[in-house]
Amino acid sequence: MDQQALTVFNSIFSSGSAFVYRCANDENFTMQFMAGQVEKLCGCPTSDILGNAKVSYVGLTHADDIDRVFADVDAAIAAGENWDVAYRLRRPDGTAAWVRERGNAVYDDSGEMVFLEGLVVDASAEVSLRKELEGTLKKTEADNAEILKLAENILRSVQKLSILAINAGIEAARAGKAGQGFAFLAREIKALADENNAWANRITDQMAGRDSTAREKIMRARETDQT
């Protein structure tokens, strides 16, 4: 990607916590291009990661998560699908950040894989909410099994909304007013927002008469999603 592409992507991701990348499919996921909030999530400058200058992206991935990441990426490539995986980035200062990555393999005209590319978004709030919900609801696990399932659905929907919203911004930046892709993504975002409302209503109904603390957490998740 050229300097113009880098400028466009950095502008799109100037706010929020996400970045796009292009890398080799090797043992280090050697980064060839990164744009967005790389330093915010990875804890080091982009220049330290590109070409494994000072650290590889695999080296930044938490040791307890890296085997699962490789397995999910390899499985998706073998199936000709996108991967969608959550893992922790271990920053050089010792802190960790939960992220969610959605990516795909890119092939040339002869069918040879040339690189991997994708989007990495901050997943800290999602993971924190899931832990809080599970901790509260497991007090009566048998009775609340369906609620746990519903909570997972709304969290997955929130994740999809985040990724689609960023993709819509990219399409808008590329195509301007003529961007038909942006219109399509906008419709998808609206559909997912409606889905979130439906899940939230079901969860709220299920929680009626139960633990008020858990019910409040569900409602906060719904309000956050709608904003």
| Mean pLDDT in residue range 85-112 | 92
Kind of pairing between the strands at 18-23 and 96-107 = unpaired
Instruction: Write the DSSP string, the chain.
Output: --HHHHHHHHHHTSSSSEEEEEE-SSTT--EEEEEESHHHHHSS-HHHHBTTSS--HHHHB-TTTHHHHHHHHHHHHHHT--EEEEEEEE-TTS-EEEEEEEEEEEE-TTS-EEEEEEEEEE-HHHHHHHHHHHHHHGGGTTTTHHHHHHHHHHHHHHHHHHHHHHHHHHHHHHHGGG-HHHHHHHHHHHHHHHHHHHHHHHHHHHHTTS-HHHHHHHHHHHHHHH-
Give pLDDT, residue 113.
95
The larger pLDDT score, comparing residue 94 to residue 132, is at 94
Residue with tokens 């980035």: 89
Tell me if 111 sits within 8 A of 92, measured CB to CB: no
How do residues 143-189 score in pLDDT, each as one tens digit? 566 666 666 666 666 666 666 666 666 665 665 554 544 555 556 66
CA distance 70 to 83: 10
Whether 29 and 57 have beta carbons less than 8 Å apart is answered as yes
The pLDDT value given to residue 137: 62
> By C-alpha distance, which of 113, 133, 97 is closest to 206?
133
**The two structure tokens encoding residue 198:** 């439906």
Compute the distance between CA of residue 97 and CA of residue 89 in angstroms, rounded to an integer: 5
Radius of gyration of the chain (CA): 19
Q: How many CB atoms lie within 10 A of CB 148?
A: 16
Q: Identify the CA nearest to 127 among candidates 93, 67, 164, 85.
A: 85
Choice among 27-36, 174-183, 188-197 with the minimum mean pLDDT = 174-183
Confidence (pTM): 0.66
pLDDT one-digit tens code per residue, 66-93: 999 999 999 999 999 989 899 999 999 9
